[in-house]
Structure 1
């Protein structure tokens, strides 16, 4: 099976388009957060894919313009994904992982649009406090992370990166995927907390302790009850990812593994600072966007660390007790052990 792309102008454009699609989708994700922060999610009413029942709304409000622009930018990401699939099938040979990554990315973008559409059609936007909104928000962000991961892998494969080998990876395999799973759950919990901050965070000078007490008052909603999960899970996940970096550096000694583990640790520190600042400042919009951007980058760094670890050419040597000495079977000219 060939892993070489067709040597042509089109072949040169495939990795460029994949990297551009990844960067563009991060911008789309941040703009989606602006829609939530500004309460513009109901800017097109409970209509999808139309906006207020029409293709082009007349005399649109500011909220309508924000929501409509998000839909247009999201639609453009879908068109880019379609072009990526067409280009991948044109320049990559049958069985090439760039084809798989492009198709997976398109599927996740379609799912992303469907989840957003369900959210609009069910009225889970603007000031809605329905617990189902928290569930949909969590699924939405988890799918977003998966989409970014698929686009990153597509870009790596299109750039000549090796395919992943999932079998026989041992501790490096299960520990890496457990870390990715934790980040998905953390992201979903973060989406619920961000929603709770938008809907219920008091504008007065309440302390974080007072806010937590309010979250568990008799009149608190399910979304308020769940807000505490994200910071607690963030501490647990951060500790695990630090350990994961140490493990992978030991069992997959490789320059790329060392580099990306350091990047991940640096991002963990920055994200923890951003998280505490978000709480202290009572989650202003710009801080929420910073927190989300760091979350996306940290997810991508973890995917990259996992990819480099599972495609590393060198593996740590077995312990001396389990690995015979190279000279163990060497004999002297007389036939005795050396």
Structure 2
């Protein structure tokens, strides 16, 4: 195997794994209420480049900023490596650039949360909307990084068409995105009530978030059915196997979610729930790519992501 190609593949998976860790740290910042650890200052932390004599919440928030800040150059380096290793027109080039765009948006949304003070125990509708948008962008970022790594491995690149299969896969992806956004809002409600001690009777927004909690588990059952149908109607062996694995992990996630509610959403359990959510999404993106590239999905596959390594 060409050394340059091997380097790209290892680095792509490494960046994906590192991004998941950054996301989990961000989840810990939200769940612990440490989001205001740097005040409303960005990119500075409490007016300082590096905080001196920081409190615990400042250490948590500043640590997240440092790890997030390193993610952008990592994705830029990944795109540079991909452009060196793959020829013009390769789909893996395009998706690596898309990953850069979503990483920049991720940083911008994070900065907005701080500057508008949508952190810690701020109970506002605007914060809930920002959290949903943040989660959606995070999923799209993970999807782009997953496809970069997957197609760099030389896997078939799908060609989208107007077939029923494309509609089913697309609907499944969209359903999981909606479920994830709802989960972000649900987690915010848990943070405000269980972490911040806010009384729903005194805060109408908090009361609305608590009342909306039933939406998330209900939507989870809908998504389970949609995913099950999509996998069952997939004929190609490899994507079908991946799909069943994702479906199994989704069932495990539903059990974790129930346990999370029963335990009153401890921080560590919220992080486990978020980790499994990320793994489900990564697996689903791989499944979608494989299902739409399979011979029964399109007449001709779009070729290999790394069809020809640049000389």
What is the TM-score normalised by the length of structure 1? 0.83
Q: Cα 1:73–1:315, aligned 2, differ >3 Å: closer, same or farther?
A: closer
Q: Cα 1:74–1:203, aligned 2, differ >3 Å: closer, same or farther?
A: closer
Q: CA contact under 8 A between 2:98 and 2:144: conserved in structure 1?
A: yes
Q: Which has the higher helix share?
A: 2
Q: Quick check: which has more Rg, 1 or 2?
A: 1
Q: CA contact under 8 A between 1:193 and 1:228: conserved in structure 2?
A: no
Deviations 1:221-271 (A, max 9, x none): 2333332221111111111111111122xxxx2221221121022112101
The structure whose RCO (Cα within 8 Å, separation 6+) is larger is 2
Q: CA contact under 8 A between 2:33 and 2:121: conserved in structure 1?
A: yes
Deviations 1:208-232 (A, max 9, x none): xxxxxx96x6964233333222111
- Aligned residue among 205, 228, 231 for 2:214: 228
- Aligned residue among 94, 97, 102 for 1:100: 94
Counterpart CA distance in 2 for 1:257 and 1:162 is: 12
Name 2:72's counterpart in structure 1.
78
User: Structure 1: which 5+ residue stretches go unaligned?
Assistant: 1-6, 205-213, 317-338
CA shift, 1:73, in A, is: 0.6
Structure 1: which 4+ aligned runs deviate by more than 3 Å?
201-204, 217-220
What is the TM-score normalised by the length of structure 2? 0.90
Counterpart CA distance in 1 for 2:297 and 2:61 is: 50
Q: Secondary structure at the match of 1:271?
A: helix
Name 2:179's counterpart in structure 1.
186
Q: Cα 1:115–1:265, aligned 2, differ >3 Å: closer, same or farther?
A: same
Name 2:286's counterpart in structure 1.
304
User: Structure 2: which 5+ residue stretches go unaligned?
Assistant: 299-311
Q: CA contact under 8 A between 1:15 and 1:158: conserved in structure 2?
A: yes
CA shift, 1:306, in A, is: 1.1
Q: Is structure 2 residue 260 aligned with structure 1 residue 278? A: yes
Name 2:60's counterpart in structure 1.
66
Counterpart CA distance in 1 for 2:17 and 2:40 is: 30
Name 1:126's counterpart in structure 2.
120
Name 2:37's counterpart in structure 1.
43
